[in-house]
Amino acid sequence: MDLDPSGHDAADPLAPFRDRFSPAPGVVAYLDGNSLGRPPAATAERIAAFVRDEWGARLIRGWDEGWWETPTTLGDRLGALALGAGPGQVVLADSTTVLLYKLARAAVAARPGRTEIVVDTRDFPTDRYLLGGIAAERGLTLRPITTDPAAGVTPSQIADVVGPSTALVSLSHVAYWSGWRADMEQITGIAHDAGALVLWDLSHSVGSVPLELDGWGADLAAGCSYKYLNGGPGAPAFAYARRDLLPSLNQPVQGWTGRRDPFAMAPGYDPEPGVRRLLSGTPPVLGLLPLTVSLEMLAEAGVDAVRAKSEKLTEYVIALVDARLAPFGVTIGSPRDVAHRGGHVTLRVPGARELVTGMQERGVIPDFREPDGIRIGPAPLSTSFTEVRDGLAVLEELLSAG
Amino acid sequence: MDLDPSGHDAADPLAPFRDRFSPAPGVVAYLDGNSLGRPPAATAERIAAFVRDEWGARLIRGWDEGWWETPTTLGDRLGALALGAGPGQVVLADSTTVLLYKLARAAVAARPGRTEIVVDTRDFPTDRYLLGGIAAERGLTLRPITTDPAAGVTPSQIADVVGPSTALVSLSHVAYWSGWRADMEQITGIAHDAGALVLWDLSHSVGSVPLELDGWGADLAAGCSYKYLNGGPGAPAFAYARRDLLPSLNQPVQGWTGRRDPFAMAPGYDPEPGVRRLLSGTPPVLGLLPLTVSLEMLAEAGVDAVRAKSEKLTEYVIALVDARLAPFGVTIGSPRDVAHRGGHVTLRVPGARELVTGMQERGVIPDFREPDGIRIGPAPLSTSFTEVRDGLAVLEELLSAG
């Protein structure tokens, strides 16, 4: 691969999108789009307009003019655009942690008599912590699998551990550390053969890799909207539940928003038949506004074009590391095979924490991940090849300066 | 009380605040500040500036520059200003429903062997639904009390039902329907004498009536920030837990944000010793911005001045109803004694639903509440006495037109 970025940028059909993001003065390279996506420039005004023209001018009437349905109207849009999910299966609400909790609780209740939850010991902490809590409170057992740190979960690992005791398998689709992309379709099939459900954390997938939840037979999924979806710091999350599972899913946080005919304020909880049964509290309408902007941009770009650029960006990261950084002891902690790779690449190098600090002081922003990871997450809509080259050049300078 | 509003407005020390809210063209009277508070005009630009200058320009570095601590820094500010709570006891996160769930679960776990949860059958639906769910999943029993619809829970009602079986008493401080203001201090004392904990829903109290959670010996509380706190539609909620209870409070939604040293991403959940143990997912930083603006305004006005005007506004509502609407069969569904009244007044009248529709068509916005309630919630910072008069005059017109 050509190490000169100019040709890649010139050939990049998504290059014009980069100028549509809010400027970041002094930032030489933002390589952390997989942690917090940049805001489109239109986002600030979109929110301000909402505050003035909807919240401020429509006031309480807004609830009858679309706000109340935001979790599902926006959920359907996200589902169609980025999840491969037909309507009526996606909501936006809460945080990823809370939605994972609700889905996991509903899942184990839907598999009574089964006693095990399969969990990846290298999964993102929230997933591990919450499943540990659920196992303890429901009298279940965690069945841990330990994945290759530079790769991730394989179908054969799942085949080895699932069986008649398995209630739920909980996995990340793209691993937060290595960027490994799991084979959702095959793993789901293996779990289904054992009668188990699978819950996918899509936080590092959505908006970066194409997803076909319906097509792959997925059961349950949740994820974050502030990474590749540019939803803003701490934005609400999304949850997916396959339509035919919904009647059997009873999540424990029974609030008025998940109840049938909520404004009747009637006695007793009677969940909505549809996907709104996953909701609990009042829809976070204002917090979801940035997502409305970025979904429009994603629709314009197209998820396939996003993935095509992402593949090339991560390939370029690997080529630069091999050519320029390997001599300093930097190795690739991510899959080299693009078929197994998500949208980010983690470099492994001793002193990673200090190197990331040095990079940040020079306007280059990747992420440090314990113990020795420098995570490079170029966002296809906002990151150029030149930016990647400039960012890694700073790392090279730091390494060569010792 | 003088039915002419002009003198009241002229004497109102908070009158200048009204012009600092975002305009609502065509709205004659907004009488629903207890459902959704109006945005200060400064809110739109504050959010836009955050998107440009913090999210957009600081990017991921913002998490180290105060964002991560937002739930507690803003929580402490809210606690000092409006809750009577010392630092380290309040977080902002999630929704009211999710926080009530976490607190109630933690509370019943902190009272092992006790089997009952006392619940008000007229409490807001979310509170009833979620306690029903918790009772079912934890093998507990709901001990219902039924309050006077035009009033609310009394200390003697609680004294009648609490005992050695009571784990938790869950109540609203100000009733969503009647506006009854419970005696938190006395009820808490009665529950404590029985060894039980009390969880208060402050959604209709906060920013409207003075609260002294520390002084009243409160255990646990949660509430909404989009009513009198002007946090915007679906804004994150707040939770309070008394400092000395924290070590015994284990909430079930174990996420990375509630863990000690979260970025170590270590195995096993080990909750933060302090109030952050109530957190689960990534802090909703962007969704909390409107609250930062309105808390500044509330600090400037002072909660005591807010309450003083609120008392006068609700007194004025009652006086107008008695003088002008009672002949049409309108009665007061709220406490007439200001000592028992929160910040809103509910009128009872046959055909309330249709009357509210008619009022809205004429630019007057109250709330309809099943079965016969027209809820009038004047927000002291944004509502004038003239507005109240004009709004109720429209109701009078509708009634006199039959």
Which residues does chain B have within 8 Å of residue A265's beta carbon, measured at their own beta carbons? 124-125, 369-370
For residue A342, pLDDT over 90 is answered with yes
Q: Do B235 and A38 touch (CB under 8 A)?
A: no
Q: Do A284 and B281 touch (CB under 8 A)?
A: no
For residue A182, pLDDT over 90 is answered with yes
Query: Once rounded to an integer, what is the mean pLDDT over residues A173-194?
Result: 98
Q: Do B284 and A235 touch (CB under 8 A)?
A: yes
In sequence order, which residues have a C-beta less than 8 Å from that of residue A397 and are 6 or more positions away? A362
Task: Find, in chain B, the residue whose alpha carbon is nearest to that of A287.
Answer: B287
Angle at A86 between CA A81 and CA A91, to 5 degrees: 80
| Cα separations in angstroms, B2 against B16, B247, B309, B326, B331 | 21, 53, 15, 17, 20
B41-49 and A41-49 helices, crossing angle to 10°: 170
The reported pLDDT for the residue numbered A265 is 87
Q: Do B55 and A232 touch (CB under 8 A)?
A: yes
**pLDDT band of A354, cuts 50, 70, 90:** very high
Among candidate residues B382, B364, B366, B362, the one with its CA nearest the CA of residue B374: B366
Phi, psi at B392, each rounded to 5°:
-75, -25
**pLDDT band of A402, cuts 50, 70, 90:** confident
Query: Once rounded to an integer, what is the mean pLDDT over residues A76-86?
Result: 98
The alpha carbon of residue A136 is apart from the nearest alpha carbon of chain B, in Å, by 10
User: Catalytic one among B124, B228, B240, B385?
Assistant: B124
B309 is catalytic: no
The residues of A annotated as belonging to the active site are 124, 201, 226-227, 375
Q: Which amino acid is at B200?
A: W
The alpha carbon of residue B52 is apart from the nearest alpha carbon of chain A, in Å, by 6
Q: Is B282 annotated as a binding residue?
A: yes
3-state secondary structure of A165: coil
Q: Smallest Cβ distance to B129: which of A30, A255, A360? A: A255
Question: Which tokens hold the place of B347?
Answer: 């009128």
- Measured CA to CA, the distance from residue A348 to residue B148 in angstroms comes to 66
Length of chain A: 402
Which residues pair with residue B120 across a beta bridge?
B145
The reported pLDDT for the residue numbered B93 is 98
Question: Which tokens hold the place of B362?
Answer: 């004429």
Total beta-carbon pairs less than 8 A apart between chain A and chain B: 288
The reported pLDDT for the residue numbered B402 is 84
Task: Find, in chain B, the residue whose alpha carbon is nearest to that of A40.
Answer: B56
B201 is catalytic: yes
HSE of A325, CA atoms in CB hemisphere, 13 A: 28
- Measured CA to CA, the distance from residue A37 to residue A48 in angstroms comes to 20
User: Catalytic one among B30, B101, B226, B238?
Assistant: B226
Question: Which tokens hold the place of B239?
Answer: 């939770």
B124 is catalytic: yes
Q: Do B233 and A283 touch (CB under 8 A)?
A: yes
For residue A293, pLDDT over 90 is answered with yes
In sequence order, which residues have a C-beta less than 8 Å from that of residue A231 and are 6 or more positions away? A37, A224, A225, A288, A290, A291, A294
SS3 content of chain B, % helix, strand, coil (to 5): 45, 15, 40
Cis peptide before B267 (omega within 30 of 0): no
DSSP track, B44-82: HHHHHHIIIIIIHHHGGGGGGGTTTTHHHHHHHHHIIII
Q: Do B23 and A268 touch (CB under 8 A)?
A: no
What domains are defined for chain B? 5-40+302-400 (3.90.1150.10), 68-284 (3.40.640.10)
% of chain A with per-residue pLDDT over 90: 99
- Measured CA to CA, the distance from residue A314 to residue A333 in angstroms comes to 12
Q: Is B340 annotated as a binding residue?
A: no
- Measured CA to CA, the distance from residue A57 to residue A194 in angstroms comes to 54
- Measured CA to CA, the distance from residue B258 to residue B91 in angstroms comes to 11
Over the stretch B18-56, which tens digit does the pLDDT of each residue have?
A: 999 999 999 999 999 999 999 999 999 999 999 999 999
- Measured CA to CA, the distance from residue A41 to residue A381 in angstroms comes to 13
Question: Which tokens hold the place of B314?
Answer: 């609700």
Question: Quick check: B192 and B80 in contact, CB under 8 A?
Answer: no
Q: Do A282 and B255 touch (CB under 8 A)?
A: no
Query: Once rounded to an integer, what is the mean pLDDT over residues A144-151?
Result: 94
The reported pLDDT for the residue numbered A186 is 98
Regions in chain B scoring below 50 on pLDDT: none
% of chain A with per-residue pLDDT over 70: 100
Q: Smallest Cβ distance to A56: which of B38, B60, B226? A: B38
The alpha carbon of residue B370 is apart from the nearest alpha carbon of chain A, in Å, by 7
Question: Quick check: A273 and A248 in contact, CB under 8 A?
Answer: no
Q: Smallest Cβ distance to B283: which of A45, A62, A234? A: A234
Q: Do B101 and A280 touch (CB under 8 A)?
A: yes
Which residues does chain B have within 8 Å of residue A96's beta carbon, measured at their own beta carbons? 281-282
Report the binding-site residues of A for pyridoxal 5'-phosphate. Answer: 96-97, 124-127, 201, 204, 226, 256, 282
Q: Between β-strands B29-30 and B364-365, what pairing exists: parallel, antiparallel or unpaired?
A: parallel
- Measured CA to CA, the distance from residue A279 to residue A271 in angstroms comes to 10
For residue A339, pLDDT over 90 is answered with yes
**Between the CA atoms of B183, B187, B188 and B191, what dihedral angle is there, to the nearest 10 degrees?**
-170
Phi, psi at B88, each rounded to 5°:
80, 20
The reported pLDDT for the residue numbered B265 is 87
- Measured CA to CA, the distance from residue A179 to residue A335 in angstroms comes to 7
Q: Is B201 annotated as a binding residue?
A: yes
Q: Is B247 annotated as a binding residue?
A: no
In sequence order, which residues have a C-beta less than 8 Å from that of residue A371 and are 6 or more positions away? A352
3-state secondary structure of B138: helix
Task: Find, in chain A, the residue whose alpha carbon is nearest to that of B105.
Answer: A253
Does ipTM top 0.95? yes
Radius of gyration of chain B (CA): 22
Which residues does chain B have within 8 Å of residue A24's beta carbon, measured at their own beta carbons? 56-57, 59
HSE of B270, CA atoms in CB hemisphere, 13 A: 9
Q: Do B133 and A226 touch (CB under 8 A)?
A: no
**Residue ranges with strand state E in B26-160:** 29-30, 90-93, 116-120, 141-145
Q: Smallest Cβ distance to A281: which of B95, B128, B267? A: B95
Q: Do B267 and A21 touch (CB under 8 A)?
A: no
Query: Once rounded to an integer, what is the mean pLDDT over residues A303-331?
Result: 98
- Measured CA to CA, the distance from residue A101 to residue A220 in angstroms comes to 12
